[in-house]
A and B are shown apart, each in its own frame.
Chain A
């Protein structure tokens, strides 16, 4: 197995990412809105020092959100490429089909990291974090990016078409984000929500990012976070590869023309 095809798939995603500069810049708008609008809005209900603290508390959460959206949307190009036919070029290539998933998830991880670095630069410029914290956040961000890409891969290999996009947003992205401790500390949640947070792998990524920021309360130990994030990613990627290698997944791509 040569790496050239994998590099080609990753390279294609990267060149698309940097070509759509407006989109890249606009991807910074969402976290900024959350941080400044929600952060200040909710913060204003808090008292004095807590107010300051909430903005700091939000930094890892907002970073995690950026990683989640970027990685998930990038992983969904597995579905986009099927819809627009480009997947055929990859399917007919002399590589095992699971490499397509692996390549796409590497691309998703890298896309997420590019956006994370942009956001960190922005946060630095705004004086919300120090250079030291920015560096401290990089490695946890990478692990979280892998975890988000893996979640995206799982969703993508089970989506038949991009028509399901709204469904995916409502049923996966929002619950995964809101029930993760990104916006509020987990231990204050009612029990039943607490359990959902516990089974949400993204929560551990968020928690890992929180560990990198001083004075932010965390819910799990660093080791637990790393173990869960890596363990989940590994299993999820294997399952995504397995599902993608099953032929029935691609039937719409090929069988459509014979049905007509």
Chain B
């Protein structure tokens, strides 16, 4: 049933010399989904995107975008997908208008179509009155917004966002996400996101954790966090060994980061007040909270069973 899927890959592999950047990747992403591929730097996320957008060829395996095999007709695939590169694709010496007109012409939009679409997108991003401004005079967040507008000029069915908020401050990151959400709602495009700001992926319909070119685990963010634990208990202590030895029999081994211990607690009925009382002076602080995607990341990639430290 490749037809209903926005993205499908089968054994997708990319090898650079001796290194396997992406190793036997199998994905199935339905139309209209907001999908997040999460993982550390160098995990192969960008390489995956570049293969799916025909910017680089797979070493082996196949992939389909909206039912079209990517190796059959790369030009048709590029018409179907939009890609916002991790690094800007814009010409800094030209104005917003010149950049977007140029990109629109590359997508074979007529000048009037292009004008209308640019108007539409710039008003979404609140940049209408800066249309004639040179790129150099814009802030990082505004430039990023123009980059995203460029990526969706041709109303792609599938939009790839490669670390879209990297290097941006919090307000700018928030507004970028508002725009993406609005575009998704209004145009119903499938969005494929990579990021390592994990809290941003919480809005995804599905996330997969990716490391060394392989999927580690995935699911709905909410389900994943529920499955991980009921609570995350964080303890700061001058004697991490002692506290760890004391609590490990009850909660299992913690993730240790210097004087910080992080336990995942599956039971729902832990009396934290009592625990705090028991630990008493041996700890400097403790807090318990619901798990989030950061915890999944840590417990997937740095779990004590793997013997890795944070």
B50 contacts partner chain A, Cβ-Cβ < 8 Å: yes
Given contacts A89-B102, A89-B150, contact A94 B108 (CB under 8 A): yes
We find that the number of chain A residues with CB closer than 8 angstroms to chain B is 31
Smallest CB separation, A45 vs chain B (Å): 46
Cβ proximity bits A2-24 to B, threshold 8 Å, 1 near / 0 not: 10110111011001100000000
Chain B: which residue is nearest A253 at the CB level? B55
B105 contacts partner chain A, Cβ-Cβ < 8 Å: yes
Check if A91 sits within 8 Å of B55, measured CB to CB: yes
Check if B56 sits within 8 Å of A254, measured CB to CB: yes
Residues of B within 8 A of A91 (CB): 55
Q: Among B47, B98, B108, which residue has its beta carbon within 8 angstroms of that of A5? A: B108
Check if A254 sits within 8 Å of B107, measured CB to CB: no
B285 contacts partner chain A, Cβ-Cβ < 8 Å: no
Check if B21 sits within 8 Å of A94, measured CB to CB: no
Residues of A within 8 A of B86 (CB): 257
CA distance A209 to B167 in the complex (A): 54
Check if A258 sits within 8 Å of B91, measured CB to CB: no
A92 contacts partner chain B, Cβ-Cβ < 8 Å: yes
Check if A258 sits within 8 Å of B42, measured CB to CB: yes
B199 contacts partner chain A, Cβ-Cβ < 8 Å: no
Residues of B within 8 A of A94 (CB): 75-76, 78-79, 107-108, 154
Smallest CB separation, B105 vs chain A (Å): 3
Give the A-B contact count at a CB cut-off of 8 A. Answer: 87
Smallest CB separation, A77 vs chain B (Å): 11
Among A61-69, A80-88, A117-125, the one that faces the other chain is: A80-88
Residues of A within 8 A of B103 (CB): 89, 93
Residues of B within 8 A of A138 (CB): none
Check if B90 sits within 8 Å of A86, measured CB to CB: yes
Chain B: which residue is nearest A86 at the CB level? B91
Smallest CB separation, A120 vs chain B (Å): 29
Given contacts A254-B46, A258-B21, contact A95 B106 (CB under 8 A): yes
A187 contacts partner chain B, Cβ-Cβ < 8 Å: no
Q: Could you tell me which residues of chain B, from 159 to 211, have a CB within 8 Å of some CB in chain A?
A: 162
Q: Among A85, A93, A247, A255, which residue has its beta carbon within 8 angstroms of that of B106? A: A93
B257 contacts partner chain A, Cβ-Cβ < 8 Å: no
Check if B44 sits within 8 Å of A90, measured CB to CB: no
Residues of A within 8 A of B44 (CB): 258
Check if B102 sits within 8 Å of A260, measured CB to CB: no
Residues of B within 8 A of A96 (CB): 75
Cβ proximity bits A150-188 to B, threshold 8 Å, 1 near / 0 not: 000000000000000000000000000000000000000
Check if B42 sits within 8 Å of A93, measured CB to CB: no
Q: Among B16, B46, B105, B106, which residue has its beta carbon within 8 angstroms of that of A257? A: B46
Q: Could you tell me which residues of chain A, from 177 to 206, have a CB within 8 Å of some CB in chain B?
A: none
Smallest CB separation, A250 vs chain B (Å): 7
Given contacts A85-B87, A85-B89, A260-B41, contact A8 B106 (CB under 8 A): yes
Cβ proximity bits B68-82 to A, threshold 8 Å, 1 near / 0 not: 000000011011000
CA distance A94 to B46 in the complex (A): 20
Residues of A within 8 A of B89 (CB): 85-86, 88-89, 92
Of the A-B pairs whose beta carbons lie under 8 Å apart in the complex, a sample of 13, sorted by A's number, is: A4-B108, A8-B102, A84-B91, A88-B87, A89-B91, A89-B106, A92-B85, A93-B78, A93-B107, A94-B75, A94-B107, A95-B106, A254-B50
Q: What residues of chain A have their CB less than 8 Å away from a CB belonging to chain B?
A: 2, 4-5, 7-9, 11-12, 15-16, 84-86, 88-96, 247, 250-251, 254-255, 257-260
Closest 4 CB pairs of A and B: A8-B105, A88-B89, A93-B106, A94-B79
Q: What residues of chain B have their CB less than 8 Å away from a CB belonging to chain A?
A: 16, 21, 41-42, 44, 46-47, 50, 53, 55-57, 75-76, 78-79, 83, 85-94, 98, 101-103, 105-108, 110, 150, 154, 162
In the complex, besides A86-B89, A89-B91, A89-B103, 16 extra interface pairs with C-beta distance below 8 angstroms are A4-B105, A4-B108, A4-B110, A7-B105, A12-B94, A12-B102, A16-B93, A92-B89, A95-B75, A95-B106, A247-B56, A254-B50, A254-B55, A255-B56, A258-B21, A258-B46
